[in-house]
Amino acid sequence: MTIPIELSDPETEKLRSEAQRLGVDPQALAAAAVRDLLNRETTDFEQAVKYVLRKNQELYKRLA
């Protein structure tokens, strides 16, 4: 599955920098980060989802 994501310029630069430091492609690093999140214990994942939903609540309301 391919999922496009939007990153801010600072986030993009940080991803590129970290990928370069690790010697991997930025897309591969992003995919690994998502896999890591999905493979964490359920409570960690649930906390992350709740945080993202709470943080972006106003944006989601405007997009609905």
The model's pLDDT over 41-54, given as tens digits with 9 standing for 90+, comes to 767 778 888 898 88
Give the confidence band of 63 by pLDDT, cuts at 50, 70, 90: confident
* Rounded (5°) CA angle 34-13-24: 55
Q: Which residue has the tokens 């430091």?
A: 21
pLDDT digits (tens, 9 = 90+) for 25-37: 999 999 999 998 8
Strand segments, DSSP code E, in 1-64 are: none
User: In angstroms, rounded to a whole number, what is the distance separating the alpha carbons of residues 46 and 40?
Assistant: 10
- Domain segments of the chain as ranges: 9-63
User: In angstroms, rounded to a whole number, what is the distance separating the alpha carbons of residues 33 and 37?
Assistant: 6
pLDDT above 80 (res 7):
yes
Can you tell me the mean pLDDT for 8-31? 96
